[in-house]
Structure 1
Amino acid sequence: MISSMSGFVLLAALLHATWNAMLHGNRDRFLSMTWMSIGIAPIATAVALSVPVPAQAAWPYIAVSGLVHGLYNLCLVYAYQRSDLGEAYPIARGSSPMLVALGAAVFANEQIHILQAAGIALVSCGIISFALQRRRPSRESIVAALLTGATIALYTVIDGIGVRRAGGHAISYTAWMFAFYWLMPAIFIAKRGRSALRASFADIGTSVSGGVVSIAAYGIVIWAMQYGAMGTVSALRETSVVFAVLIGRLFLREEVTFARFVSCVVIAAGAVCIGL
Structure 2
Amino acid sequence: MFNLAVGLVILSGLAHSVWNLFTKKSINKNVFLWFCQWAAILIFLPFVLVELPTIGQVPFVGWLLLAASMILHGVYILLLAKSYTIGDLSQVFPIIRGTSPLLVPIFGVLLLNESLSLLGWIGIVCIVSGIFLIGEAKGRIFRKIVDKTILIALLVGVMTTSYTIVDKVTLQYFPSFTLNWASNVGNLLALTTIVMRSQGIRQEWKVNWKTILLGGLLAPGSYILFLKALELMPVSQIAPMREIGTVFGTLMGVFILHERQGKGRILASVSITAGIIMLAQT
Question: What TM-score, normalized to structure 1?
Answer: 0.87
Letter in 1 for 2:151: V
Give CA deviations for 1:183-215 in whole Å, capped at 9, x if unaligned. Answer: 14423235x25x542224231321232121111
SS of the residue aligned with 2:51?
A: coil
1:98 aligns with: 102
Q: Which residue of 1 aligns with 2:28?
A: 28
Equivalent in the alignment of 1:203? 208
Separation in structure 2 between the aligned mates of residue 95 and residue 135 of structure 1, nearest angstrom = 18
1:8 matched to 2:43:
no
Closer, same or farther in 2 for the Cα pair 1:68/1:259, shift >3 Å?
same
CA distance 1:45–1:127, change in 2 (3 Å): same
Give distance in 1, aligned partners of 2:235 and 2:2.
17
Q: How does 1:70-85 map to 2 (within 5 A)?
A: 70-85=74-89
Tell me the percent identity.
24
Deviation per CA, 1:226-254, whole angstroms, max 9, x where unpaired? Answer: 12111222122111000001111121222
Q: Distance in 1 between matches of 2:124 and 2:3?
A: 23
Deviation digits for residues 39-71 of structure 1 (CA, Å, limit 9, x no counterpart): 123334454344325441433222211111111
Contact 1:23 1:33 in 2 (8 A): yes
How far apart, CA to CA, are the structure 1 residues paired with 2:88 and 2:270?
17
- Paired amino acid for 1:33: L
Q: Summarize the alignment of residues 29-48 of structure 1 with structure 2, pairs less than 5 Å apart.
A: 29-48=29-48
Question: Are residues 1:114 and 2:122 paired?
Answer: no
Match of 1:181 among 187, 192, 210: 187
CA deviations 1:75-114 (Å, max 9, x no partner) are 1112212322122111110220121111111221011321
* Cα distance in 2 for residues equivalent to 1:214 and 1:70: 14
Q: Distance in 2 between matches of 1:2 and 1:51?
A: 25
Determine if the alignment matches structure 1 residue 239 to structure 2 residue 249.
no
CA distance in structure 2 between the aligned counterparts of 1:123 and 1:110, rounded to whole angstroms: 20
Structure 2 portions without partners, runs of 5+ = none
- Deviation of 1:132 after TM superposition, in Å, equals 6.2
**Does the 8 A contact of 1:171 with 1:223 survive in 2?**
no
Kept in 2, the 8 Å contact 1:249–1:256? The answer is yes
Q: Distance in 2 between matches of 1:231 and 1:272?
A: 15
CA distance in structure 2 between the aligned counterparts of 1:269 and 1:79, rounded to whole angstroms? 29
In the aligned structure 2, how far is the partner of 1:205 from the partner of 1:132? 32
Indicate which of 255, 260, 267 corresponds to 1:255.
260
Describe the SS at the equivalent of 1:237. helix
CA distance in 1, matches of 2:153, 2:179: 27
| Aligned residue pair count | 272
Q: Does structure 2 retain, via aligned residues, the 8 Å contact 1:96–1:153? A: yes
Alignment gaps of 5+ in structure 1: none
Q: Displacement, 1:36?
A: 1.4
Residues 169-178 or 150-159, more deviating: 169-178
Residues 1:203 and 1:164: Cα distance change in structure 2 (over 3 Å): same
- 1:171 corresponds to: 177
Query: Structure 1 residue aligned with 2:158, among 150, 154, 157?
Result: 150
- Detail structure 1 runs of 4+ shifted over 4 Å in the superposition: 130-133
Contact 1:94-1:271 within 8 A present in 2 as well: no
Rounded to whole Å, the distance in 2 between the matches of 1:106 and 1:11 is 28
